[in-house]
Amino acid sequence: MMYEVEQMETAMVAQENRAPANIRMVFEESPLRGLERRLYDLPTANEVAVVYVGEDNDVPPASRSLAVHLRSATEEQFRNISDIDKICDPLTYPLLFPTGEGGWEPGLRNREGTRITQKEYYAYLFSIRNSFNPILHAGKLCQQFAVDAYVKIEQNRLNFQRRNQLILSSGHL
């Protein structure tokens, strides 16, 4: 599937008489946490996990983002993409989303018009179907995607609690 998308893009580049877009992604650690890249060695286990290290009563940050470096013929620029942006998953996992089709976003609705939660969306992606599901056949990349999806869901729940403290605690007054 990725090959077909590449061929389509090559054809469009030739048809539009333009140079292909070069994209570079940069994942940067927060300098505020004192993390040094040289401290991280190659993995020694076949497991995928997320570890958050914080101070006493410290909670994970309210949002994560990835910076995409867009390189055009005229200038170079960065674009920060939030982890709840619908293009975050296709940019982070191009092998799982070769067409670049958008992922979950806060306003996503089903056919009946009701809102789809992040948990429901990722449950659908991981569901077993009769048709081929590239996510379930991705091996360790599937594990990494599952951990990333879990972190996004939990972060979204924490953000809801942060934003709605008055409403959530009003029942105890």
Q: Residue 54 pLDDT > 80, yes or no?
A: no
Give the pTM.
0.64
First-last CA distance in the chain = 56
Query: Cβ contacts of residue 162 below 8 Å, gap of 6+?
Result: 62
The closest of 79, 58, 18, 49 to 151, measured between CA atoms, is 49
Give me the residue spans of the domains in the chain. 107-173
| Alpha helices by DSSP H, the chain | 2-16, 88-92, 118-125, 140-163, 165-169
Q: Is the pLDDT higher at 34 or at 140?
A: 140
Q: Is residue 61 scored above 60 in pLDDT?
A: yes
Mean pLDDT over residues 4-11, rounded?
81
Give 84-115 pLDDT, tens digit per residue: 888 889 888 989 998 888 888 888 899 999 99
According to the model, what pLDDT value does residue 28 have? Answer: 56
20 or 143, higher pLDDT: 143
